[in-house]
């Protein structure tokens, strides 16, 4: 499952097991298609938080657009080696090159 893959990925990083820092995992079976705003509304409801409080990081422009349409307050573009060049539509999104940037490190 997508959730299983997420747990495996975050459980085996170069910085050790990071799963204790994640409260929830979501995939298509729990929240729907990541390119639809309804998915992000479902995630906010599941977390019992206002969508405007959520930080969402993705390397996919369509996912960020859908998240923004759902009212996600902080959609952020992850810039990684091998990603396609940013389109003009994606340039307004905040960008990070490392998740450590989210922590101010």
Average pLDDT over residues 88-98: 90
pLDDT tier at 19 (50, 70, 90 boundaries)? confident
The per-residue b/e assignment along 12-33, b for 16 or more CB within 10 angstroms, e otherwise, is eeeeeeebeeeeebbeeeebbe
Please report, for the chain, the start and end positions of each structural domain, with discontinuous segments joined by +.
Answer: 51-105
Q: Does 105 score more than 80 pLDDT?
A: no
Please tell me the pTM assigned to this model: 0.80
**Average pLDDT of every residue of the chain:** 89
pLDDT tens digit string along 24-52? 888 887 788 889 999 999 999 999 999 99
Q: What's the burial of 70, exposed, middle or buried (CB within 10 Å: 0-12/13-18/19+)? A: buried
Average pLDDT over residues 56-66: 93
pLDDT tier at 15 (50, 70, 90 boundaries)? confident
Average pLDDT over residues 89-102: 89
pLDDT tier at 65 (50, 70, 90 boundaries)? very high
Residues 6+ apart with CB under 8 A from 55: 73, 74, 76, 102
């Amino acid at each position: 499952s997508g959730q299983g893959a997420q747990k495996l990925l975050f459980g085996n990083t170069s910085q050790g097991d990071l799963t204790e820092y994640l409260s929830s995992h979501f995939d298509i079976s729990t929240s729907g298609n990541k390119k639809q705003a309804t998915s992000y509304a479902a995630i906010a409801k599941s977390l019992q938080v206002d969508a405007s409080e959520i930080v969402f990081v993705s390397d996919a422009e369509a996912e960020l657009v859908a998240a923004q349409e759902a009212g996600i307050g902080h959609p952020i573009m992850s810039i990684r080696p091998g990603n396609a060049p940013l389109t003009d539509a994606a340039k307004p999104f905040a960008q990070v090159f490392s998740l450590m940037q989210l922590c101010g490190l």
